[in-house]
């Protein structure tokens, strides 16, 4: 399925037209119609009726993301939302752990009381509550030191903060955020794989696959770490995709003639 990101974005945000000073370039973007003047949209390339949204030197024209560059922006925003959701969720878990570390004793008393109430019932069904793995796990959790729980809460909070900073930076397509995402995500991959060896769940597998794809995609598409020509090649690609540049280079033979 081919998605026309250009037209979709124009449908949502409206077209972007610009009247460059250079008369040759101007003529390529401009049309006189029976209904008045029309200008070519810098994103989708359609002619749009009405006065241009801006005018001036061709170099000052807005650099409108289109085509592959625009698609990359959509993917980055999807990753930004995914990271924001994960970040908020982890903040909540950290708060829960911190709250639990403060009321550990009262919660344990409550749990033990419940256990006392249910023990005879379970015994009736020949179920030994004191040796059940679930109860065992819960009792072990109560056994954790207060300081350990606080440390876990702080680490979770730091992790959540990294995710949220990534989310904001990716949303605005900042290059530092792309680096941060690739480095931080790759750094946590061994931990995610270790998690899977302990306990397999579809959510964990999905997260791992998504993170591996995100690291590869961002590093290659955004040409980080000098990959595929690095930043210079990335900027060139961004500019060469702009409609003004396309028109300008198309106009070269005409100018030479």
Region binding Zn ion by CB under 5 A among candidate stretches 4-12, 111-119, 132-140, 247-255: 4-12
Euclidean distance between CA atoms 144 and 156, whole angstroms: 16
Distance of alpha carbon 191 from alpha carbon 183, whole angstroms? 14
Nearest approach, Cβ of 10 to Zn ion (angstroms)? 3
Nearest approach in angstroms of CB 8 to Zn ion is 10
Q: Which of 10, 64, 167, 177 binds Zn ion (CB under 5 A)?
A: 10
Q: Contacts with Zn ion in 80-109 (CB under 5 A)?
A: none
Site string for Zn ion, 17-56 (x = CB under 5 A): ------------------------x-xx------------
Region from 3-11, 105-113, 198-206, 207-215 binding Zn ion, contact rule CB under 5 A: 3-11
Binding residue count for Zn ion, defined by CB under 5 A: 5
Give the shortest CB-155-to-Zn ion separation in angstroms: 47
Token pair listed for 219: 């590093």
Task: CB nearer to Zn ion: give 7 or 86.
Answer: 7
Candidates 229, 188, 227, 232; CA nearest to 86 is: 188
Residue 182 touches Zn ion, criterion: CB under 5 A: no
CB of 30 to Zn ion, least distance (A): 15
Candidate segments 11-19, 74-82, 211-219, 230-238, binder of Zn ion by CB under 5 A: 11-19
Q: Which one, 44 or 170, has the nearer CB to Zn ion?
A: 44
Closest distance to Zn ion from the beta carbon of 243 (Å): 10
Query: Taking a C-beta distance cutoff of 8 angstroms, is the pair 237, 231 a contact?
Result: no
Tokens of 139: 């009792």
Cβ closer to Zn ion: 15 or 83?
Answer: 15
HEC per residue, the chain: CCCCHHHHHHHHHCCCCEEECCHHHHHHHEEEECCEEEEECCCCCCEEECCCCEEECHHHCCCCCCCHHHHHHHHHHHHHHHHHHHHHHHHHHHHHHHHHHHCHHHHHHHHHHHHHHHHHHHHHCCCCHHHCHHHHHHHHHHHCCHHHHHHHHHHHHHHHHHHHHHHHHHHCCCHHHHHHHHHHHHHHHHHHHHHHHHCCCHHHHHHHHHHHHHHHHHHHHCCHHHHHHHHHHHHHHHHHCCHHHHHHHHCHHHHHC
Task: Choose, by CB under 5 A, the member of 15, 28, 40, 222 that binds Zn ion.
Answer: 15
Q: Which of 28/43 has CB closer to Zn ion?
A: 43
Contacts with Zn ion by CB under 5 A lie at 10, 15, 41, 43-44
């Amino acid at each position: 399925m081919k998605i026309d990101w250009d037209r979709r974005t124009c449908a949502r945000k409206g077209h972007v037209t610009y009247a460059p000073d250079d008369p040759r370039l101007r003529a390529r973007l401009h049309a006189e119609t029976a209904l008045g003047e029309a200008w070519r949209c810098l994103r989708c390339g359609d002619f749009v009726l009405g006065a241009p949204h801006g005018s001036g030197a061709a170099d000052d024209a807005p650099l409108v993301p289109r085509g592959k560059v625009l698609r990359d922006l959509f993917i980055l925003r999807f990753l930004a939302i995914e990271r924001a959701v994960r970040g908020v969720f982890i903040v909540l878990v950290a708060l829960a752990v911190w709250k639990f570390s403060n009321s550990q004793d009262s919660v344990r008393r409550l749990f033990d009381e419940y256990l006392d109430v249910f023990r005879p019932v379970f015994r009736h069904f020949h179920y030994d509550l004191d040796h059940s793995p679930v109860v065992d796990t819960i009792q072990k959790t109560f056994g954790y030191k207060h300081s350990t729980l606080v440390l876990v809460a702080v680490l979770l909070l730091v992790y959540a903060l990294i995710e949220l900073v990534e989310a904001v930076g990716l949303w605005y397509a900042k290059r530092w955020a792309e680096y941060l995402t690739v480095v931080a995500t790759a750094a946590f991959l061994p931990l995610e794989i270790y998690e899977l060896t302990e306990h397999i769940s579809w959510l964990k597998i999905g997260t791992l696959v998504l993170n591996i794809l995100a690291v590869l995609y961002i590093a290659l598409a955004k040409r980080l770490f000098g990959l595929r020509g690095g930043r210079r090649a990335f900027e060139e690609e961004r500019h060469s995709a702009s409609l003004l540049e396309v028109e300008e280079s198309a106009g070269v033979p005409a100018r030479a003639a």
